């Protein structure tokens, strides 16, 4: 992990996790749900959110002097139910 809860200047948004995976700059959104009533947590990371995360990732890279490519958007999803925690890591969300 390189950074967490990074807020873009001017209130443009937040990246939950910034990391590196080999050559990739990875920006990850973390979603937690207490049930499946409103769907799996990954469903909350829609196309608009992924697009915004890509923009934020490029901004983070520019401000920190890193090359912005290749950039990958991941989802870290937690489902907490009946005292159990289920975690999934969705790599490279399109």
pTM of the model: 0.91
How sure is the predictor about 82, in pLDDT bands with cuts at 50, 70 and 90?
very high
CATH code of residue 37: 3.40.1350.10
CA–CA separation, 66 vs 63, rounded Å?
8
Closest by CA position to 73, among listed 93, 43, 45: 93
| Number of separate domains in the chain | 1
Which phi and psi (to 5°) does residue 46 adopt? -80, 180
Q: Tell me the three-class secondary structure of 3-67, residue by residue.
A: EEEEECHHHCCEEEEEEEECCEEEEEEEEEECCCCCCCHHHHCCHHHHHHHHHHHHHHHHHCCCC
pLDDT in tens, 44-79: 999 999 999 999 999 999 999 998 789 999 999 999
Closest by CA position to 85, among listed 19, 34, 47: 34
Residues spanned by the domain of 16: 3-90
Helix (H) or strand (E) holding 85: strand 84-90
């Amino acid at each position: 992990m390189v950074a967490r809860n990074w807020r873009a200047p001017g209130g443009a948004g937040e990246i939950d996790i910034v990391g590196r995976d080999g050559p990739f700059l990875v920006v990850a959104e973390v979603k937690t749900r207490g049930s499946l009533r409103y769907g799996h947590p990954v469903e909350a990371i829609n196309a608009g959110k992924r697009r915004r995360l890509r923009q934020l990732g490029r901004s983070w890279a520019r401000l920190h002097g890193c090359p912005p490519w290749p950039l990958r958007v991941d989802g870290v999803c937690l489902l907490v139910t009946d005292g159990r925690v289920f975690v999934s890591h969705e790599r490279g969300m399109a």
